[in-house]
Structures are given as C-alpha cells and as structure tokens.
Chain A
Amino acid sequence: MAFRVTVNGETREIDAPGDMPLLWALRNELGMVGTKFGCGIGMCGACTVHIDGQATRSCSMPLSAVADKDVSTVEALGESPVGQALQQAWLEDDVMQCGYCQAGQLMNATALLNNNPDPTDSEIDAAMQGNICRCACYKRIHAAIARVARDEETANA
C-alpha cells in the first residue's frame, strides 16, 4: 500500500506495508539513513524524529500512523535555529565519542528546547533520559544543552 508522508517539507510516496515502522521506511525505502536503529522497541531514542514538532521514536511508529503528517529528521535539523545552535554546541564541546546515538540526542534536545527554552538541570535529565548513549557522553550532552539554553536566553534578553 502506498502512503503519503511529508518528510523534511517534501511529500514522499512510500509503498510499503502499513505496519512498517517509520524508521525502516526512512532508512530502507527513502535511503535517509541519518535516523538510527538502536533497539527497535522504543527504549533507546536513537531513532528519534519529530512528528508535527514532537519528538517521536520512529521505530515504534507505524507508517500508517504518519500518513499526512509532517516528519522531520536529523538531515533537516540545521534548518531550525535551535537545531543549528545545538549542532554547533555539539561540535564546540566535542560532545560525541562514536556518534551513533547523537542524531537521536540532537532531535530530542531540539524538541526539549522548543518546548521549554530554559530547562532546569533536572528537566534536562528527565527529558533526555529516554536517549541512551552507550559511550556515556551524558555529561557533555547535558552541558551542551544547558549552554545553548543559556545563550539563547541571553540573545533574547
């Protein structure tokens, strides 16, 4: 069956079973491999995308449920100001080790700051605890998010 999904602003036809997770439609049908497979059961956050602006685990979201919705992925992250600021902070703070989880971390962090531009430390912890980093770069991920939040606030003051 063919589904029509808007991915990063572009309408795409995907001919696949409706129960196929969005993750595998993105990766293997559309060849958009920035979104990562980590667990397939919604436990790690590597596959995080935004659906209508909300951070969502694409491994657990069937294709049929995202028809006519707006999906945005890490490939388009740099187009949003918050996403871009986080990408920049990630590089300046040398956040990553292997980097495999980082697309999901960045997508989740962007959704966090979009919803809550000035999170407390425990709000950052709570919002990010669904994203596993096997390399355990948590200290730097946390610090980079907090710094972007601070800088944005200063910029808006």
Chain B
Amino acid sequence: MPDTVQLSRRTLLKASAVAGGGFALAATFPVAARANAVSGPQDLNAFITIHPDNTVTIVGKNPEIGQGIKTMLPMLVAEELDADWDSVSVQQADTNAAKYGPQLAGGSFATPMNWIPMRQAGAAARSMLIAAAAQRWGVDAAGLATEPGRVVQPGTRRSATFGELASDAALMEVPDPAGLTLKDQADFRIIGRAIGGVDSPKVVRGEPIFGVDTQLEGMVYAAFERSPVFGAKLKSANLDAAKSQPGVIDAFTVAASPQVELVEGVAVIASNWWLANKARSALEPQWDNGQWASHSTAGYAEAARNAWATGNSDEVFSEKGDVDAAFASADKVLEAEYSYPFLAHVAMEPMNCTALMHEDGTMEMWAPSQTPQGGQQAVAGYLGLEPSQVTVHITRMGGGFGRRLNNDYMVQVAAIAKEMPGTPVQLIWSREDDVRSDYYRPAGWHKLRAALDADGKITGWADHFVTFDLGDGPFNPAAMPAQEFPAKYVDNLKFEQTKLETAVPMGALRAPTSNALAFVMQSFLDEVAHATGKDLPALMLELTDGVAPEPPTQGFVGPQPGFSAPRLQAVTRKVMDMSNWGQPVADGHALGFGFYFSHMGYFAEVVEASLDDRNNPLVHNVWAAGDVGSQIINPFGALNQVEGSIIDGIGQAIQLAVEIEGGAAKQSNFHNYPLPRMPMTPQIHVEWVLSDNAPTGLGEPALPPVIPALTNALFALTGKRVRSLPIDKSLFA
C-alpha cells in the first residue's frame, strides 16, 4: 500500500496498525505561509485512532482558551468519519509545527483554516473502513454506507463496527484525495449539534487541567519582581533580605532580553508561591526610570490635542479624490474628537508557566500559551537550543483574549529554570503583576470630519488619528486599516496619523483594532445619520446599496473572502426585525444600533439601554444578528462566544480603562479594573443569518458592534454623544 498520500495541497496522511487490532491514521496538516515551520512530514503520530473496542481517539491540535476548539475541531473529524460522538475521546496535542501546521488560538482563524482539512482526515479514515468491510464481505465498496460507528450494507443485515474493521482498515490503501467526497450539510449528524465541552466534566470536578494546575515532583515556585514603570532598568535589589524570608530557596536577578520580550527583574524562588510572592517586599528594588516616568495617558491625550491644533501629522496613510475641495463645497460639515483608553486582558487564570531544564540541557515546558509554537521558538532562541530541544506541552488556559499571544512569561520562566537544572519551577504572576505587566489594547485619539452635501450624502471623510509608534511587526494593534469603513464608499477621503513614542507594551485584545474602531466609526456615522434625518441602519444600507461582494484578499493566514455588502445588509435587516427597530420602546429606554465586520464575521447589534437614578447606563436587551457562513458548527460554543463577547464589550464601554500615570499602569486588580458581574447581564437574543460561505470563527466578531450600539442608544435617550470611553456618566447629569 502507498503509505503516504497527499490529501489536500499540503495535508499528508499515513495509516498504520495499532497493537491489539486498532487502526491509526496520522495526518500532517498545512503549514500556513506565515508560520515559521519546517515543511514536510516528520514523525507522524496518530491523529485519529480507532480502537478494537470501537472507541475513537482524536487529537485536538490547537490550544484551548475557552473558545471551544478542543471540542469543535474533533467534531469536524468525527462527522466525516461518521463516528458515534459518545465513543470519541479527545487528546491534546503537544507543540509541533511540522506535524500540525499552525497551532494557534487567535484571530478567530481556527475555524476557516480547519474546516476542510479536519473533515478530509475523517473522510479518509471512513473510506478505509468501508474498503475493509467491502473486502471482508466480498462486495463493492460503492454499495456500502456508514451509520455512526459502523459500516453497513443497506438492504441487508450486514454490519460491522469500526472497531471490528480497524485492523483490516489499517492495511487498506490510503485514499486518493480526488476520490473523497465530503458530506452534504443536510447529512451532518455531529456538526450543528449542541455539544458540551470535552473537558467540562473535569472542570466541574476541579481536576487539574489548567496550566497553573501543573504539579511535578520536587517543583518549586517563582514570583517575579519587575519595575512598574515600563522601560525602567534595575539598579539594585536586596537579594539577601529576600533569601532570608520564610520558605525562600533563592533570589536572583534576571537580565533583559528585549528580542524575546524578557524584562529585567528579580526572581524569588520558594517552596510555596505565596511565600515567594511575599518575599518580594523585602527586595526594596531601586529602578532607573530614565525618560519614561513622565509618560501618562493624560500626556498622550494632550499630545493628540496638540497634533490636531497644529494640523501636522506624520503621514497620510489613505487618500483619494480631493478632500479639501469636498469640505470647501460642503453643505454641512461635522467634526468630532473621539478617544478610547488602554485596556488590560485580565484572563481569569493569571499568567503562569512551568519549566524544567533537564540535566542534558534540553527544556520541557507546560505552557498556557495561545501561540505555543512562537513560545517554543522564543525559548529555544533565548537558550541557544533548537526548537525540537524545547518540548512544549499545551495546557488548557483560563482565558486568553489575546494576552497569551505574547509569550513573555514563557521566556521568563525559562530564564529562571535555566538557573536550576533538574528542578521544575512554576512561575505565577499575581493579579497585580498581570494587570500592570500587560500588552495593553492601545489607547487612541481620532479627529473625524465629514462633509455632507445638500442631499445629506457624504462627500468627504477625514480622520487625523493619533496613535503609537509600535515599529513594523507583522501585526500592529495600534494601526487603523486604510480602508476602514466607509472609506471605500466615499469619493473624497483622507486618513492621516501621528505616532507617539512610548514604552508601554501593547498587543492584541479580543477583536484587536476593531474593538476600538467600531466605537469611533459607528458613533460618528450615527452622528452623520442624525444630522441628515436618518438612522444608522438606514445609512448603512444606503452606503452599501447595490455594492457587490469584493474578491478574496490575502489575509494573515491565507486567502480570505473579501468584504461583502450583501452580508452586511442581511444582518442589518435581520437585527432591525428582531429588535422591532423603529417601534416605540419602554419609557425611559432607547435603542441604538451598531454594525461591524471583523475576523470574517458580520454582526449587527441593537442595544436597549436606560440610565438608573444615578445616571449609570443599564443595558436591558441586546439583539445580535450574525453571519459567519453556512454552518454553526457547535451551537453551544457559538452562543457562548457571542454572549460572552457582548457582555465583555458592555463592560469595556461602561467601566474599564487602564490609565498610565508616572510611566506605570495605575490599575492593579479587580477593585479598580471592575469586570462585569452577573447583575449587569442583559437579555441577549442571537440569531444566525446562514450564507453560502465557508464557516468562520466566533471568538471575536460579536464584540465590536455592541459598544457603539450602546453609546448610540444613550444618544437616542439623552441627546448626549459619548465620544470617549469608558462612558463618563457626568455627561448625562
């Protein structure tokens, strides 16, 4: 038999027998163009294993942060295999770029990237089971079918379980990809079913499955003291004082290594993390803050106002037509200044990582990371090892929200563990460390202008964006797309920007850039709508009327469908319908609308809000219409993501900000970074608009539109325009 077959363009399959009569199918998945991975198959281990007792093990290859991927990807495999879901168990893969392609929890990419390859792997295994049955029964494979967990010959009583066929199936030819037909949507038995998380039974019993639950023989705990002022350098610390604290085993300084995100500081090692953390107070570190201690959010805001006052920007990054002429001849000009703050991620499980430097110089890690491959490379680079000498076990994570795309804590624990070969060490950050050492959602400032003609049509659109200079990395969370809506739908456009210098670390927070720009752009468009006697959904429909879907674009991990105006229109109409848009609402309540397209998903949302007697915004109802393609793979996980995103966005709008003061984050824990709590939860009504597009991810796109939907509702209620987040309730006094 040919032992490897190229399935899709780059997916490779390999079959083998398993001791005791089982059948294993190994798979090597496509490596995205951007991933720094070795190409070609190596060390193929089982991806799908069919055991003689008819149970099936499927490898979950991507990191689980609560987005449901460890359940969802195996559902795709099991569907085409036609397995009985109750007999499927899921095993978490280790980090291996060569074998699995990108193992990434971020960007809502996993669904579009895996929709076809996962199903192909399952279909290949199924066809080999059918071939085995055909051979055993001496019949034509084309006349056989599958029922969950078994091959049957329709019209006869012949039937054999996958387990019974497994050892024969292992000897069958691995199928030619051209001959594999994937199921019709109408025939799905697992995809589309509400299926609970595969790890959930362990979670409710308190079993150790999170990164911070890792326990190893002889393990010690580390806490890390770093400067609260970003960019500061360590002058001195009293290591001896820390070492004399109860339970403390060691204390030593760690040098910075900026290219792998390692900051300077002091590691304190103890037999118990609380003791290590407590001993930090004896260190009395002295820091050289350099120029950075003068930095503050207020200072950045002042710089933004100065940039606007002078009108000088660093660059024009998007321009068409003649914007000056459009404003000179406008019937009406609107102008508004919008801003939003830094935000922290505050994943529920604080940053942590466990590492063991083996005596032979190789490293083993237990890492709650959204990008374990990136962490593996950073640690290998830092230690002067090959990535293959750094074993990275992927643990379940208590949330990610983008924080764990940066692997600074992985390198930090590696820097500590390399000082103590043979001893496993678990680094844990306090919540204060977590809030004050984040890669924040960038703050930003926009001065927007719109020129309207006598018919209320937008003839000119301009933004002077004040943001931060974050260099030229592959992804810049402080950038604004040159085509930011409605750029393509106006004739005269100018987007320019001023970039501020900073040492504040910034990164991707759930729906990066979109979580801020949706607020700014959908609010200002709401201003335009009101100025022209329309409402925002009507304006959105008008702007995109008759616009054809755009051709696919090259995205971060491959080709992505282009923006489709008809999909915008469909979700907008749907949510208007769901929320009885335009009809009277309860006294003292008002509705607001927001739309946003992000991460390939289209969401239109309507918020019903009021103010309590102390002018605090209350959200009563949220209606959300979403289009993420032809199929909701797991309705449980999908709804959970949308509900969570909506509450997350409401929390950001109403009460969350990290302020930089004296070069450091002022907030530190939940008392001054008050996440939403249960009583804030509105009624949430979600409906799907299914469209003829491959399914895309849901970790992010439902968040951005809820923020402007809320602030637009507050405008409808009070006539006061929220132009700065979080909402300042004194506006309504």
Contacts and interface: CB of A to CB of B under 8 A. Distances in A.
Interface of A: 16-17, 20-21, 23-24, 27-29, 31, 33-41, 43-44, 46, 73-75, 77-78, 87, 90-92, 94, 96-103, 106, 124-126, 128-142
B670 A41 contact: yes
A136 B196 CA distance: 17
Residue from A124, A130, A140 with most neighbouring chain B CB atoms (10 Å) = A140
Nearest to A106: B204
Given A33-B212, A41-B669, A100-B349, A74 B678 contact: no
A85 to B, nearest CB: 11
Given A20-B272, A36-B349, A87 B644 contact: no
Residue from A99, A106, A131, A138 with most neighbouring chain B CB atoms (10 Å) = A99
A102 to B, nearest CB: 5
A118 B398 CA distance: 31
B681 A138 contact: yes
Contacts of B218: none
B45 interface: no
- In the A-B complex, the 6 residue pairs with the closest CB atoms: A34-B206, A100-B398, A98-B66, A74-B206, A136-B647, A24-B274
Contacts of A24: 272-275
B207 interface: yes
Residue from A17, A20, A43, A94 with most neighbouring chain B CB atoms (10 Å) = A94
Contact of B68 (A21, A41, A97): A97
Given A20-B275, A41-B431, A33 B643 contact: no
A129 B396 CA distance: 26
Contact of A132 (B274, B350, B677): B677
B264 interface: no
B221 A91 contact: no
Given A17-B246, A136-B648, A137-B644, 19 more contacts: A17-B275, A28-B272, A29-B272, A38-B350, A39-B431, A87-B205, A91-B196, A91-B204, A96-B200, A99-B210, A100-B398, A101-B398, A102-B204, A125-B678, A134-B348, A136-B643, A136-B646, A138-B676, A142-B681
A73 B206 contact: yes
A74 B205 contact: yes
B670 A99 contact: no
Contacts of B203: 96, 99, 102-103
B426 to A, nearest CB: 9
Contacts of B274: 20-21, 23-24, 28
Contacts of A31: 215
B199 interface: yes
A27 B431 CA distance: 17
Interface in B22-68: 65-68
A98 B681 contact: no
A39 B678 contact: no
B206 A28 contact: no
A106 B204 CA distance: 8
A57 to B, nearest CB: 12
Contact of B670 (A34, A39, A91, A133): A39
Contacts of A33: 206, 208, 212-213, 215
